[in-house]
Structure 1
Amino acid sequence: MTASVRSNDCEVAVVGAGPFGLGVATALRAAGVDVLAFGSPMGFWRENMPRGMRLRSPWRATFIGNPNGPLSLDSYASGQRVQLREPLLRQDFVDYGMWVQAQAIPDLDTRMVSRVERTNAGFRLILADGDAVRAGRVIVAMGLKNQELVPAAFSGLPSELVSHTSAHTGFEAFAGKHVAVVGRGQSACESAVLLRKAGADVELVCRGDIHWLGAPSSRRGRNVLGAAEELLASPSRVGPFPLSWLIEAPGLVHGLPAAALRWVNARGLRAGASGWLLPDFGGIKVKAGRVIVGASASNSGIDLRFENGSTAYDHVLLATGYRIDISKLGLFAPDFLDAIACHDGSPILSAGLESNIPGLHFVGASAVASFGPLMRFTAATPYAARAVTRFIRAARHKGQNARRSTLRLGEASAPAGTKPR
């Protein structure tokens, strides 16, 4: 990690040092843009994901900023002589991200940004230690920080009884405990596996059946279809075939009518779990088709109430995903937040991932509502980096042309023998 090194003015400030923040900052720096990047490198991955977790994304869709070249996962593995295997361990991806940061953004300022304010010349960033930085543009790349979705039935209950998966980096504390995992996606199923390996008695509680991705089927017709889908799968494998190929092109998704874009997001991000988890799923009881109507603390722990009864647990782990709401990022004062055009908490973004506030950009999870499901995965880091860099370079060029035109007008209108000032 790099300690805070400077605080001054910059052309662009990047808030966040995860895959999207590092990818965009690297591309901008390569384009000659004066960039300052802030945040803890790979912070969310290190502090909000459990040890032993593996990435759902395939190797060919796992990278930061560029699938090829000196900062690719392949270059890291060969250059550092590390043995990696697919599916990639969370810790291996964290190590890769830290390596990218050290190579591309060695002057990363690890202080946290606590507030972003508008100024006449752009923006003012207030850092956690009270220092301030002025920037012409700000790129928010904070990922899923503070975006946890907690169902209303669990609001107000203490963390000793109920917690979100993002609150844990390991499950050793649950050894010997009776734990209910709520959800049926990748996070739910993998958390259940890791809990069981840690010695917990695990039950998976979900509304519907688990949708296993890439898992073999007992039905012959389904086997043939599954093999065809595997053969024709898009590089990132986000969403079902053939929709997955549209999802691979965020620029095209961005151009869809609003209703179609919402459908693509709902279909592309529906709950599913990797089939490679199945061999470790033995011993985990699945309560599918159960609707939770309430939860309450009891002498023995926590009671989950269903439509047809209740069950007592020592702890409930919520693998209920995330819901984007930029107000929860804590970056913006209420009046600034009110000025940002949003739909259901997500900023409405232009082709350059810019909000309606000139110079304020959002990348990563905050851009899903405008650019589609790929923005939830590292496979979208190259697109975000290219789109933002292209937009900023075009804005630079436009500004330079405007200044030249102003200068020419001044020269033409100046009296003979004088110089425009």
Structure 2
Amino acid sequence: MVGPSDLPVAIVGAGPFGLSVAAHLRSRGVRFRIFGTPMHRWRAQMPLGMFLKSEWEASSISDPAGRYTLRQFCAEARLPYGKTPLPLDTFTRYAMAFQQHLVPMVEDVLVTAVDRKPDCFDLRLATGERLGANSVVIATGLSHAEYVPQELTQLPAQLRSHSSAHRDLSLFKGRDVVVVGAGQSALETAALLNEAQARVSLFVRGSSISWNETPLPDQRSLSQRLRRPASPLGSGLKTWFCANAPMLFYYLPQRTRLTIVRGDKTHEMLLGPAGAWWLRERVLGRIPILLGQSLLGVAAIGGKAVLHVTGPDGRSLDLAADHIIAATGFRFAARSLPFLSEPLLRDLRCVEQVPILSPHFESSVPGLYFTGIASAYNFGSVMRFLCGCQYTAERICDHLGGRQVSSRSPYGVTSERNPKVS
């Protein structure tokens, strides 16, 4: 049995958000344990040759002292900074150096179960260890959130996959591949496949592809800066709002927040699918793009995947390929996390399977916090990007620091209940 715990915090996940929270807790003297393979998805699942969509200045993990930035790492490692799109390899080298320098106590082990007991959370590890913690921070990033359209799941597994399943796209050399999607993942996957000499085409449901603007010059007039303010996520008033005002976003009506983050039939999502400005020349004119397509059905015929589609003119077409890659993004759902217990899930207030969070990222289960994509419906699309790490870490650690010094409840302080969401 697990009894009252003297461990204040357990962090599940060692990606950018988990490392940021850990670095902030460590700087405040709050004891914690953090579990997971450091930067696993970035180092083992993202494709070779990839560049980050985020600009260099928006791609640092949150160091509470503000010193261990990507810029500082590149200067010390004598790596070029800011002159090209940010290579995946450069970022992962920086992230691992950040982890080793600021969060060396990461335990490379999976958490297999999280349950709630009357006086603490009960965690089980893949090693067989069982421990209690007063609070748990879920920082699993995009793990267990891969989204594949239901139609494509009807195909045999060997004929379709999610884009996150491919580290080395050169394995598709000489093969026919259809990439489904219109965002950065789809566009860069298609570009890498084309450059690896695969025969690739891009299947897009929408009528066009969106591209991010080239970053604005540093020297602009005051009126230009007021009309189109710059932010870590790009330029423009709406983008600036999402990047710089997550707490104002939090107090918008629930339906408005959902529409902004996810979109609906009448409104496009803000910061929705779009390609980076530097990717355009590697796609346009080089890869066949089928726009305005509707997927009617799928079939496996003669060892190939066949998509039955209609184009914008209403004509039917069969697309045959050796493999279909769904570069259709990620959607968080609490029930997709295999380690959360059923009783805990029943107590978790959600909207569309996404936890409703307090201003401190705490869920309706006192002491249980969610970060990253799991918090985007509450604080905006900035939580899907690296630049969301700092705000997240500061808010969570402010709250956990208060719990650490109080003894008014088993969790440190009486939980801040979630406000009623309209």
TM-score between both structures, scaled by the size of structure 1: 0.87
How far apart are the structure 2 equivalents of 1:138 and 1:300?
46
Letter of the 2:368 partner, please give it: L
CA drift at 1:398 = 4.2
Map of 2:96 onto structure 1: 98
1:3-402 pair list within 5 angstroms? 10-66=7-63, 69-85=66-82, 86-208=84-206, 209-214=208-213, 232-237=228-233, 241-248=236-243, 249-265=245-261, 266=263, 267-281=269-283, 282-307=285-310, 308-399=316-407
Compute the displacement of 1:75 (Å): 1.5
What is the CA–CA distance in structure 2 between the aligned matches of 1:53 and 1:329, rounded to whole Å?
Answer: 27
Give the C-alpha shift of residue 260 in structure 1.
2.0
Distance 1:354 1:57 in 2: 27
RMSD: 2.2
**Amino acid in the other structure paired with 1:113:** V
Q: Check conservation: 2:24, 2:64, Cα contact below 8 A.
A: no
In structure 2, relative to structure 1, the CA distance for the partners of 1:49 and 1:231 (3 Å cut) is farther
Matched-pair contact (CA < 8 Å) for 1:67–1:73: no
Amino acid corresponding to residue 382 of structure 1 in structure 2: Q
| Amino acid across the alignment from 1:315 | H
**What is the deviation of 1:255?**
1.4
CA distance in 1, matches of 2:109, 2:406: 33
Whether the aligned pair in 1 keeps the contact of 2:304 and 2:321 (CA below 8 Å) is yes
Residues 100 and 283 (structure 1 numbering): CA distance in 2 closer, same or farther, change over 3 Å?
same
Distance in 2 (alpha carbons) for counterparts of 1:66 and 1:106: 14
- The answer to whether the 8 A contact 2:362-2:368 is kept is yes
Gaps of 5+ in 1: 1-7, 217-227, 403-421
User: CA contact under 8 A between 2:227 and 2:237: conserved in structure 1?
Assistant: no
Asked which structure has the greater CA Rg, the reply is: 1
Question: Which letter maps to 1:212?
Answer: W
Percentage identity across paired residues of the two chains:
35
Structure 1 pair 212–401 and aligned structure 2 pair: CA distance change class (3 A): closer
Q: Report if aligned partners of 2:23, 2:64 keep a CA contact under 8 Å in 1.
A: no
User: Which one has the bigger helix percentage?
Assistant: 1
Alpha-carbon offset, residue 401 of structure 1: 11
* Gaps in structure 2 of 5+ consecutive residues: 216-223, 264-268, 311-315, 411-422
Deviation, 1:69, is 2.7
Q: Deviations over 1:387-421 (max 9, x none)?
A: 0011112233443799xxxxxxxxxxxxxxxxxxx
Instruction: Give the Cα separation in 2 of the matches to 1:169 and 1:229.
Output: 40
Deviations 1:262-313 (A, max 9, x none): 2321322311111211221232000001111111111051101013121211
Residue 171 and residue 231 in structure 1: after superposition, are their counterparts in 2 closer, same or farther (change >3 A)?
farther
Quote the Cα distance in structure 2 between the aligned partners of 1:230 and 1:176.
50
Distance across 1 between alignment mates of 2:60 and 2:102 = 14
1:247 offset after TM fit, Å? 0.5
Q: What is the TM-score of this pair, normalised by structure 2?
A: 0.86
> What's the secondary structure of 1:179's corresponding residue?
strand
